[in-house]
Amino acid sequence: MAILKFQRPNGTQDVVGKQIDKWHTVEDIVTSEAQVYGFSEIRIPTFESTSLFVRSVGDSTDVVQKEMYSVSAKGDAELSLRPEGTAGAMRAVIENGLLNESFPQKVYYLLSCFRHEKPQAGRLREFHQFGCEMVGSQDPRSDAELISLAKSIIDRTGIKGVELYINSIGCPNCRARFTEALKSYFADKQDSLCDNCKNRLETNPLRVIDCKEENCAKIAKDAPIILDYLCDECSEHFEKLKRCLDAMEIKYTVNPKIVRGLDYYTKTVFEFVTTDIGSQGTICGGGRYDGLIEQLGAKSTPAMGFAMGLERLILTMENQGVEFKNEPTCDLYIATLGEKAEIKAMQLCSQLRENGNMAECDIVGRGLKAEMKYADKIGAKFSMVIGDYELESSSARLRNMKNGELSEIKLDGSFAYNFESVLVSFLLGADDIFKQ
Ligand code: HAM
């Protein structure tokens, strides 16, 4: 029979070995910082009804038109793997009655998302988002608070040189006037736009502004800017946000080209961008979406949020040489000689683990030399060898794997449960640990 070789699907990643340290480092930072800002975790399904995404992300967006993984299983309505977290999070907020609780409701999530895009560095088909959503405040102070949270997270990762760009894309009223202005600006230039943009001019003119095609970008350079079309309310909202950011000493650049690729945004939009990971440098994107909750069938409620791509955060940290925390390694490796010692080592390991210590002994049948090599390889901090002599004398020599120092210890019934104090005495250089 032919041997089948399987490979992971294009645009996905395995996380193995030391790589997980990076994920744990970043996950610890994002969750602890979100909690400091009063956000609680929510967990939502990996797939939702396709119509949820069509209605929220928008049926003219690339995400919905080209990138969703959708299936219709056994006659059910069509379902799609989530391409992002906001739609599902808002569905959950509504469905679980959080709109009846006191505002603001602040939720965060860590989840995988799926988009059928062309894979490249920092762009995957399955990727991971950390997202925060705040529901129930239309005050620009909530915009500032969210931006401040995103910035604190980025600062805590230790990466440098990340730029914050902000913009306002107004409410449906100002947007309508702006869209007209855009259409008339592009009217005599349509033929030079890419096919996508020719389409977008009809379905989603705002997106023409941030097309990455060189020619479109050139043409869009002198296009009208939305900030000139904001109504008084949207304009004042943006000004107050800027006053808050200034007071909080958060540096930003107003960039009228930031329009975001999802349809639900209103007023504030923002992105944190690095130049250190190539063309996919947007680490974090977000904004206000005051119309979404009503669009999903609930009472009109303002909301906003952001999401960060964890792969992009990690990539930036790697490229900038930021240190990741190391996962804990084995506290004590017990090497053995003979079956009685093997059984004793099993007992000791079990007691040490009960006591919260990471202990290992041989369970694959290595010889003594190979056992010590293995102890070294797994980064054991201490080791000891048990053989007949140790069993008879109820003592053993503990080795500090870092400097080779040895110390005689008592191997009685309390050894495992007093392991920490045995170590402290050893490390402090107490003369006679044996008497502990
Ligand atoms: P988004 O800009 O589509 O916004 O995605 C947010 C972040 O996810 C991006 O800034 C990027 O870091 C990461 N990302 C997106 N696509 C990929 C990909 N193919 N591969 C790797 N990373 C990717 C949203 O998804 C909104 N839901 C954000 C939001 C939350 N707005 C309000 N609340």
Q: How high is the pLDDT of residue 344?
A: 97
274-313 pLDDT per residue, tens: 999 999 999 999 999 999 999 999 999 999 999 999 999 9
Tokens coding 328? 């804990």
Is residue 411's pLDDT more than 60? yes
Q: How high is the pLDDT of residue 435?
A: 39
Contact assessment for residue 207 and residue 261, using Cβ atoms and an 8 Å cutoff: yes
Q: How high is the pLDDT of residue 284?
A: 98
DSSP 403: T
Q: Whose CA is nearest to atom 4 of ligand 1?
A: 285
Work out the average pLDDT over 391-397.
97
Closest CA to 209 of 193, 195, 232: 193
- CB-ligand 1 contact for 287 (6 Å cutoff): yes
Q: How high is the pLDDT of residue 430?
A: 56
Residues 6+ apart with CB under 8 A from 365: none
Work out the average pLDDT over 396-420.
94
Is residue 436's pLDDT more than 50? no
Is residue 124's pLDDT more than 80? yes
Task: Name which of 196-205, 218-227, 278-287, 387-396 the model is least confident about.
Answer: 196-205
As a whole number of angstroms, the distance between CA 189 and CA 212 comes to 17
* Ligand 1 atom at shortest distance from the alpha carbon of 123: 20
Q: Backbone phi, then psi, for 334, in 5-degree steps?
A: -110, 110
Classify the phi-psi angles of 183: left when phi > 0, otherwise alpha if psi is within -120 to 50, otherwise beta.
Answer: alpha
Q: Whose CA is nearest to atom 18 of ligand 1?
A: 123
Q: How high is the pLDDT of residue 167?
A: 98
Work out the average pLDDT over 133-139.
98
Contact assessment for residue 384 and residue 407, using Cβ atoms and an 8 Å cutoff: no
382 SS3 class: strand
Q: How high is the pLDDT of residue 428?
A: 87
- CB-ligand 1 contact for 116 (6 Å cutoff): no
As a whole number of angstroms, the distance between CA 436 and CA 420 comes to 12
Q: Whose CA is nearest to atom 33 of ligand 1?
A: 305
- What is the band of 210 on the pLDDT scale with cuts at 50, 70, 90? confident
Q: Which residue has the tokens 């929510």?
A: 42
Beta bridge partner(s), residue 361: 334
Q: For the purposes of burial, counting CB atoms within 10 Å of the CB of 412, is it exposed (0-12), middle (13-18) or buried (19 or more)?
A: exposed
- CB-ligand 1 contact for 305 (6 Å cutoff): yes
Q: Which residue has the tokens 């349809």?
A: 263
CA of 378 to the centre of ligand 1 (A): 37
Q: How high is the pLDDT of residue 49?
A: 97
CA of 292 to the centre of ligand 1 (A): 17
Query: Percentage of the chain surpassing pLDDT 70?
Result: 98
Is residue 371's pLDDT more than 50? yes
Pocket test for ligand 1, best of 82, 282, 283, 310 (most atoms within 8 A of CB): 282
